[in-house]
Amino acid sequence: MESSSKSNIQRLIVIAQHLRDYKGPPSTYDQMEQKIRETSGKVTSLVGFQESASPRVRYAKTFRPKKAAVLVCLFEGDNGELRVILTKRASRLSTHSGEVSLPGGKAEEGDEDDGETATREAKEEIGLDPSLVDVVTVIEPFLSKYLLRVVPVIGILHNRKAFKPTPNPGEVEEVFDAPLEMFLKDENRRVEEKEWMGEKYLLHYFNYEQKNKKYLIWGITAAILVRAASVVYQKPPAFEEGNPKFKFPKDVNRDTFMS
């Protein structure tokens, strides 16, 4: 038993090191932020976006999304599999009520980086002490349907038994976990084709059951978990990801938000 425990710890160390070395592709969000700084109000075209879809505009008037971060917290299950901590949001919330989500939220002015945003929010939502989480990397940001720039932060929970979930009843109804590898398999999954600002994309839905409770994991949470699983296991999913090629809208109104 002791030998098995040491082997599990060593495996997590190897995974953590691999993730620390991860360098994702450049983000169009970061490219745009850089271009905004470089041009400082000059009239210019949008880098990374189709000219026909994004006419020449002044960056000072261009939509810039608010920032948020979520924690993809991984730990080793009883059978040696990697699992990820998830929440079911409280039904009384005004947005995403009752949906499965990763712990996280909007960045605050005092946050040092995305890792601090994600771990701070995880502590507030589910009582996860940031000192228990080894933040190892961040992956490419996603744009939520409410136009939040969401950065997934991957962290390792080396001692699962040290974490005693205490969900904030105002935000979280349940805390549970699921195997990370399920988000690479074409099982218990369905997909819908959607369109936003002229770009088609795929919306994935994963059905998951634990302790006689059924969960539907979909939308940006599913998209983030598919990408995170691909990075961790170093292989693509057994299906087309179909993430949208997001463009920043010039103006924001009720028709801008994603379905």
Q: Would you say residue 177 has pLDDT above 80?
A: yes
CB atoms within 10 A of CB 44: 14
> Which band of pLDDT confidence, cut at 50, 70 and 90, is reported for residue 58?
very low
Backbone φ and ψ for 68, nearest 5 degrees, come out as -150, 165
The pLDDT confidence band at residue 42, using thresholds 50, 70 and 90, is very low
Strands 199-210 and 189-196: what pairing? antiparallel
Retrieve residue 152's tokens.
């997934």
User: What integer best gives the mean pLDDT of the chain?
Assistant: 81
Q: Which of 130, 99, 98 is nearest to 116 (CA)?
A: 130
Q: Which one has a higher pLDDT value, 125 or 198?
A: 125
For residue 93, name the pLDDT band (cuts at 50, 70, 90): low
| Average pLDDT estimate for 2-20 | 72
**Cβ atoms within 10 Å, residue 222:** 19
Q: Compute the distance between CA of residue 68 and CA of residue 114 in angstroms, rounded to an integer.
A: 8
Beta strands per DSSP E along 77-171: 82-89, 100-101, 104-106, 133-138, 142-143, 148-157
Statement: residue 41 has pLDDT above 50: no
Q: Which residues does 9 contact at the CB level (< 8 Å), separation at least 6?
A: 158
Q: In sequence order, what are the beta bridge partners of 192?
A: 203
In the predicted structure, residue 119 carries a pLDDT above the cut 90:
yes
In angstroms, the CA 169 to CA 163 distance is 18
Average confidence (pLDDT) over 44-64? 38
Three-state DSSP state, 6: helix
φ/ψ of 235, rounded to 5, equals -155, 155
pLDDT-derived band of residue 121, with 50, 70 and 90 as boundaries?
very high
Domains of the chain: 1-23+64-233 (3.90.79.10)
Q: Provide the pLDDT confidence category of residue 8 given band limits of 50, 70 and 90.
A: low
**7 vs 92 pLDDT, higher one:** 92
Residue-level pLDDT at 37 = 47
Looking at per-residue pLDDT, the higher value among 36 and 159 belongs to 159
SS3 at position 154: strand
User: For residue range 195-225, what is the model confidence (pLDDT) as tens digits?
Assistant: 877 788 999 999 999 989 999 999 999 999 9
